[in-house]
Structure 1
Amino acid sequence: MELEVGDPATSKFSRSVDSEHKAKSIKLFSFANPQMRTFHLFWISFFTCFVSTFAARPLVPIIRDNLNLAGRHWQRWGGVCVRVHLLQACHGRHLQSPQPALRLRLLIMLSAPTVFYMPVIDNASGYIAVRFLIGFSLATFVSCQYWMSTVFNNKIIGTVNGLAAGWGNMGGGATQVIMPLIFHAIRKCGATPFAAWRIAYFVPWLMHIVMGLLKKGDMNKEKFSKVLWGAVTNYRTWIFVLLYGYCTGVELTTDNVIAEYYYDHFHLDLRSAGTIAACFGMANIVACPMGGYLSDLRARYFGMRARLWNIWILQTAGSAFCLWLGRASALPASVTAMVLFSICAQAACGAPSSASSPSSPAAPSAIGIISGMSGASGNVGAGLTQLLFFTSSQYSTGKGLEYMGIMIVACTLPVALVPPSATATEEDYYASE
């Protein structure tokens, strides 16, 4: 049933909505309440948390000298600790209870002091501990996906979730440019390198404060035990947990190592390495929404099966470009491989985010739990990937990228082999409308 603007039941909405008051279209340059304002506030919040989480990476060449981070082991552990968070699954549980937007506000505000504390650390242990604490802010991903699935219609949720997740993830690339620019601007004011990187951290801290103050909202949900059971007993939930573990996980890992790789391997300066590395994360502005849109488009004709094949094709292509990136010895070839890898990787991240929430009739009441489990699996997948390929001194970062490329295709192949009987038809997929 479609309800148009001007209908007494929907007069408070600025866009055409369905019977559940979910918007049936998206207008990117609108800030109308509630759908579009929700969209913009939540992707910007996610963007902010990505900036603060990855702010250290483009400045590692300076930080490692200041804090005496000896070898790859200490440098990587900070990034590994950032990822291994089951908080995202727990945060999904809280979204099922009253005032979820206020809980998000609390999460962002509580993360702000950890960002503020970064400038005063003076050893490797402090670096690891603070990066670990800052990483909890990535649980905003769960809120972002939950709210998009709550206020937008299922038929466009792939595109909307792809846009919100992609533009939020873009912070991981933007910070590769933002932090070096801030660092050099502070240096020009007369600060020493060791003081400049510390002062630069006040920018992401202020971003947390501003976004935390902008949050408000409320929504009541069902009994948690019932919702949890509906989510964990749905096989599609675990399919998306696996997918997120090895698409979002790869993206987060690459965000964490790519700037330092170009700085060390090709002997670039801090600004040049950061600019090139930013291209990986910045691809989210187009690639992630594209993955969600393709998933929506194909699902209209072939159901959930098409969504799975869409992800498999994107990740398989990404694995080939990841292998090329690790093997490339010339800078132009390496940058080309990285850009192509980023497009496939970000599109693959947008594809599963489009389908995790409405994947079963029980899903509308379990969106928070499903999003939380999927988001947590991405962090855990990134942590495992970095532990396996980027903490050992036995091989280079380039070799680690090669191994990661092999892992991508190996872990994604089972998804392509899911039998047709285990995937939803188009009618099943939209049964809740």
Structure 2
Amino acid sequence: MVESLEARGFGVGMPGYDREKWGFDLDGENKAKGLILWKLQSPHVRAFHLSWTSFFTSFVAAFAVAALLPVVRQNLDLTASDIGASGIANVVGAIGARVIIGAICDTVGPRYGVAGVLLLIAPSVFCASLIVDRGGIIAVRFFMGIGICIFVCNQFWSGTMFSPNCVGTVNATCGGWGNLGGGVTQLIMPLIYSGIKQSGRPGFTAWRWSFMVPGAMFLLLAMMTLLFAQDTPNGSYRDLRKTRAAQVDGKKTLLAAVRNYRTWVLTLNYGYCFGVELTINSIIVSYFFDQFGLTLEIAGIVGAVFGLMNLFCRSAGGLASDLGGKYFGMRGRLWAYFILQLCAGALSIVLGNVDDTLGGTIAVMIVFSAFVQSAEGACYGVVPFVSRRSYGVVAGMVGAGGNTGSAVTQALFFADNEGLKMSTQDGLVWMGVMIMAVTCTLCTLHWPAWGGMLSMADPNATEEDYYLSDWEPEEVAANLHIPSLRFAMESKSMRGKANYAKLMAGNAVKEGSEDSDGVPVKDVKTDSQ
């Protein structure tokens, strides 16, 4: 007889859980099946707020220099080539860091990951006030850009705390509100600079004092994360390390992510949604300043609109992914992502062709931003389903794809290279072409039990077969695979509403049957209907 789910630990109550006070149900892994923003007594909600605010702060710092670039370049006598090199350095730094932080999340937990990055990068934020030449701005922007790797902790943490039924929306909201920092910094840094300058400081020192604000934010958030958060619904990784849940081979976890082609396809595609956002954040203020003759403050306000769309657009993409998943399963999630990113590519081409009017450029930029950030949310509505075992590594690799895509795009189209010299407008057009071409690779994604955009599911495949394939027989014998097994049970809804209903009806019949000893049976593993 197969053990019942309850006997294997499914649905075990969470210590301290109070449905009436928290306002949401928990699934078999004690993950929240909903998000109520003000229920701070819940570790799920505290993790949500600390993760997005930390990511928000890293974004503010990473693009603070870009927001003040018209002033900084004049003070340091920087050339267009210098600015392009510093912009590339700003996004290159986080490429390797995102992969590393993903492995760290899988081994020591997202709480230490977030706090560690904030504390390590804070000195470079303060050092921005000491820049005197080309080498200094490139070095500082490189290290400040590493802070963006907190995004991996952000997505890992929300995926650890929230159930598959809402993970797309929660991941997107958590990431989107963090990305909001890229827009807010375009708005607040020029205002901070102006305020300091009006207090009597000369312009060449006012911009330097401005970096004290994001530096202080780093230190504050690091302390709050260490004091008020925990890694998982069931406690910290330090406590869980004493149990089977943390006795996992890190090398095998890394290999499980690297060997899965879905990881690489999503990594490539994220480079042309989030990578596009990073690219626009690096060039937008200077573009409005130079192209339309706006003042620094006004250019910052207009440029901030692109990032401020993260307030709801990334969440909208996650919601679209969840709705697609609810009714059409994984195929619905993939189609939602495909459509959003394809539209973003088309709008980038349009943006490059409306440079003659300020109003037209702003209008197209807003719609373009909406689709770019919705595509980001839809992408991370798919990422949690690639591998339960290697979720942190997968999230890190996909996130690194965003930085890589931005670095490549800036180097090709916006770095004032001698070989590929082109205007910003032409760069936007060719970036749009790249987005649309890369998006077509989503058609190659396929899950055995769920199918793909253009392919059908295997009727004999199960979620358990897919997620347990990441584990060696000896690891299964040691019960290290249990979290993956639980996730497989929760993810059966990715078959689509109709197929999932048939599956549940079949399970109800099986649960009413008896084995040879007359004991009711509840199968852990069930075949597709």
TM-score w.r.t. length of structure 1:
0.94
Unpaired stretches in structure 1, ≥5 consecutive residues: none
Alignment partner, residue 373 of structure 1: 397
Report deviation, 1:93. 0.8
Alignment partner, residue 385 of structure 2: 358
1:382-401 equivalences under 5 Å are: 382-392=406-416, 394-401=421-428
364-373 or 110-119: bigger deviation: 364-373
8 Å Cα contact 1:166/1:346 also seen in 2: yes
8 Å Cα contact 1:305/1:420 also seen in 2: no
Amino acid at match of 1:388: L
Aligned mates of 1:102, 1:131 — CA distance in 2 = 23
Alignment partner, residue 50 of structure 2: 41
Aligned mates of 1:417, 1:136 — CA distance in 2 = 31
Alignment partner, residue 75 of structure 2: 66
8 Å Cα contact 1:248/1:349 also seen in 2: yes
Report deviation, 1:9. 2.1
8 Å Cα contact 2:265/2:445 also seen in 1: no
8 Å Cα contact 1:357/1:366 also seen in 2: no
Alignment partner, residue 327 of structure 1: 353
Aligned mates of 2:265, 2:131 — CA distance in 1 = 40
Aligned mates of 2:163, 2:113 — CA distance in 1 = 24
Alignment partner, residue 148 of structure 1: 158
8 Å Cα contact 1:319/1:409 also seen in 2: yes
Higher relative contact order (CA 8 A, sep 6+): 1
Aligned mates of 1:181, 1:73 — CA distance in 2 = 27
Alignment partner, residue 102 of structure 2: 92
Q: 1:9 aligns with which of 4, 8, 13?
A: 13
Report deviation, 1:331. 0.5
Aligned mates of 1:389, 1:225 — CA distance in 2 = 37
Q: 1:210 aligns with which of 203, 209, 220?
A: 220
Kindly report the root-mean-square deviation, in angstroms, between the aligned alpha carbons of the 2 structures.
2.0
Amino acid at match of 2:100: C
310-319 or 372-381: bigger deviation: 310-319
- Residue 305 to residue 8, structure 1, CA distance change in 2 (3 Å): closer
1:237 aligns with 2:263: yes
Deviation per CA, 1:235-289, whole angstroms, max 9, x where unpaired? 3222221221111111110111111100000110011111111110010111000
Aligned mates of 1:87, 1:153 — CA distance in 2 = 27
The structure whose Rg is larger is: 2
- Residue 224 to residue 26, structure 1, CA distance change in 2 (3 Å): same
Deviation per CA, 1:159-201, whole angstroms, max 9, x where unpaired? 0000000000010001000101101111110111111110111
Alignment partner, residue 274 of structure 2: 248
8 Å Cα contact 2:84/2:410 also seen in 1: yes
Aligned mates of 2:489, 2:277 — CA distance in 1 = 32
8 Å Cα contact 1:315/1:345 also seen in 2: yes
Aligned mates of 1:29, 1:275 — CA distance in 2 = 30
Report deviation, 1:47. 0.1
Secondary structure at the aligned position of 2:367 is classed as: helix
Alignment partner, residue 519 of structure 2: none
Aligned mates of 1:137, 1:186 — CA distance in 2 = 26
Deviation per CA, 1:369-412, whole angstroms, max 9, x where unpaired? 01110111111111000000001263211211111111111111
Name the % identity: 38
Amino acid at match of 2:349: L
Report deviation, 1:75. 0.6
Amino acid at match of 1:53: A
Q: 2:435 aligns with which of 408, 417, 426?
A: 408
Amino acid at match of 1:295: S
Report deviation, 1:103. 3.1
Aligned mates of 2:390, 2:282 — CA distance in 1 = 31
Aligned mates of 1:45, 1:398 — CA distance in 2 = 33
Q: 2:199 aligns with which of 186, 189, 193?
A: 189
Report deviation, 1:97. 1.3
Greater helix percent: which structure?
1
- Residue 103 to residue 413, structure 1, CA distance change in 2 (3 Å): closer
Alignment partner, residue 83 of structure 2: 75
1:315 aligns with 2:325: no
Matched residues, number = 425
Aligned mates of 1:204, 1:420 — CA distance in 2 = 43
Amino acid at match of 2:156: Y
Report deviation, 1:108. 0.6
Report deviation, 1:226. 2.1
Alignment partner, residue 19 of structure 1: 28
Report deviation, 1:95. 1.1
8 Å Cα contact 1:174/1:281 also seen in 2: yes
Amino acid at match of 1:107: V
Alignment partner, residue 32 of structure 1: 41
Secondary structure at the aligned position of 1:299 is classed as: helix
Alignment partner, residue 376 of structure 2: 349
Aligned mates of 2:199, 2:262 — CA distance in 1 = 54
Report deviation, 1:303. 2.2
Amino acid at match of 1:342: S
Aligned mates of 1:416, 1:279 — CA distance in 2 = 32
Aligned mates of 1:388, 1:236 — CA distance in 2 = 26
8 Å Cα contact 2:51/2:114 also seen in 1: no
Amino acid at match of 1:79: G
